[in-house]
Structure 1
């Protein structure tokens, strides 16, 4: 009898240990996730380079339990479509234009007011401080969470008509813009005829003469070889564009607190690296565009600021005078 009980006890112990092993194995497998990250830029852009490095770091720090798949060049759709996919939880993450995210949180449009920032240092101080947190805090309730503010840089203007030296040079010029209300407001104030078009269609539209010009940061102009279809590059610095690194709130909730921290910290770390890459590349890319035949000029921006002052008044109804004043003060380091 004792022998039987002993055998039964041993069997129960083996069964228990086996169950624990299988449960642990099942738990480990359950933790594995593949997160899809979409964005509009090609593989030569700093976003892709930083996103690739970030994916490797997250994979290592989660012991291979989180894999991030990259989908560049609007493979999954336009920026606007991808942001809606993130909101609906059919896409996990996006490096999104702040103007697109502003469709869900209008306060973010304050970052795009014309000639708001004088330096990259001022941008970083604002976005990584209390103001950046305030602008993002209500988004999770709308299905989107900002993990960090990546960068697209100051936007410049190219065209095939003339060098831009004064606001009057924009008169009647058809300018391609992203689907962004602030950008359209700025170019309307400058006297141009702005119209939105997906970035993936830009090169073809310019080559066919559908638009006279367009506006983008230097890194995008260079990466997309717009020098092949545009003659003049004018450094108008008319608008700063951040790239919020966003995640679906539903995806965020599926992550353990440990993995949330790993992902959030990595997004912030590579936001800093991303900004520095843009700054380091800018001078080199300008020189290369000039060597390839583009005519470059840096106009006096004072009359441009004066011409777009009405944009601040126009957006007071949407953003509120108090928010605009606080963002302006924060941008100036006050």
Structure 2
């Protein structure tokens, strides 16, 4: 009987870790972010003696983020490295950090706020049956356009891509009275080529990785938001990892969280430099637009508080913004 029980225990342990954890990510292979993800997953596999293998599908090969989340829901995938849009479908409170016109050019303040609120967000992820292994900053978000605009009011004349199904973006477009063209992310490049849209928005690393820089002439040097991401897997997938291996995975993920954030910051700076070298003109807005933008932000908060994100999340954000 002891032999039978021992055999069953071994087989159970083998089955527990045999199948890889499959995740999807939009980041294309070859980008700095993708390279760090590869290093992270390789180190996790080595540290856990192959017990935890993470198979990553890069470059949107599993579809847009919405497709990846749907595949997670039906068990075809186990997780993803998502931007705030999709994270918000799991835990709406994270979107409070992406409220437009909150941080302006202050990337340091934005990152500190993200790090301070991460434990609160992680609790909410767990309540919704997901484990957050690492939280990332993607960077400050800018408009890029094919036509020159001198102020916020002028942007209203452009056909601007809006990420299909993003309630925060939809609300921003309504508050600012912008012309939105809802599209999936992979469709933006071709739409810029054909004139379906005349402007889009993303952090600099996204603008280059998605090749939008080849279709635009201007960048509005007036950050509209701060984009975040996270590496989440289902609680069910996480429960199949032994406690000892869970500890190793968390330690390695945390290490690469810092490396990826530092890498993204550098890549964003390099991307801005590259766009300038390509003769993309950086357009500055005046101080009047700063005041106008704060009015838009207040209107968005009024509409979204208690709906997209909780009052608790908003209070925590406002408390962080008061800190020096």
| TM-score, scaled to structure 2 | 0.88
- State which of 309, 314, 319 in structure 2 corresponds to 1:324: 314
1:121-200 counterparts in 2 under 5 A? Answer: 121-129=108-116, 131-163=117-149, 165-179=150-164, 180-200=166-186
Worse overlay, 283-292 or 314-323? 314-323
From 298, 303, 323, the counterpart of 1:309: 298
Instruction: Tell me by how many angstroms 1:192 deviates.
Output: 1.4
Gaps of 5+ in 2: none
Deviates more, 1:212-221 or 1:47-56: 47-56
Provide closer, same or farther for how the CA distance between residues 324 and 261 of structure 1 changes in structure 2, counting only shifts above 3 A: same
Deviations 1:211-262 (A, max 9, x none): 1110001001111221211111112211111102110111011111112222
Which residue of structure 2 aligns with residue 54 of structure 1?
Answer: 40
Q: CA 1:120–1:332 in structure 2 vs 1: closer, same or farther (change >3 Å)?
A: farther
| Structure 1 counterpart of 2:97 | 111
Q: 1:189, CA displacement in angstroms?
A: 2.4
Distance 2:124 2:310 in 1: 16
What is the distance in 1 between the residues matched to 2:134 and 2:265?
Answer: 18
Deviation at 1:16, TM superposition (A): 8.3
List aligned pairs for 1:271-286, cutoff 5 A.
271-286=257-272
Spell out the pairing of 1:55-74 with structure 2 (5 A cutoff): 55-74=41-60
| Greater Cα radius of gyration, structure 1 or 2 | 1
Superposition RMSD in Å: 2.5
1:243 aligns to 2:229 (yes or no): yes
Give, in whole Å, the separation in 2 of the partners of 1:81 and 1:156. Answer: 25
Distance in 2 of aligned mates of 1:100 and 1:153: 16
Select 1:81's aligned residue among 63, 67, 75. 67
Provide the rounded CA distance (Å) in 2 between the counterparts of 1:61 and 1:329. 39
Q: Is the 8 A contact 2:111 2:137 kept in 1?
A: no
Residue equivalent to 2:201: 215
The equivalent of 1:8 in structure 2 is none
CA distance in 2, matches of 1:37, 1:50: 15
Match of 2:217 in 1: 231
SS at match of 1:137: helix
* Inter-partner Cα distance in structure 1 for 2:283 and 2:103: 20
Which shows bigger deviation, 265-274 or 153-162?
265-274
Deviation at 1:75, TM superposition (A): 0.8
The alignment of Structure 1 onto Structure 2 pairs a total of residues equal to: 317
CA distance in 1, matches of 2:253, 2:169: 26
Query: Could you say if the C-alpha distance between residues 123 and 264 of structure 1 is closer, same or farther in structure 2, counting changes exceeding 3 Å?
Result: farther
Unaligned runs of 5+ in 1: 1-14
Following the alignment from structure 2 to structure 1, what is the Cα–Cα distance between the partners of residues 72 and 2? 42
Q: After the TM superposition, which of the residue ranges 58-67 and 40-49 deviates more from structure 2?
A: 40-49
Q: CA deviation at 1:21?
A: 8.9
- TM-score, normalised via structure 1 length: 0.86
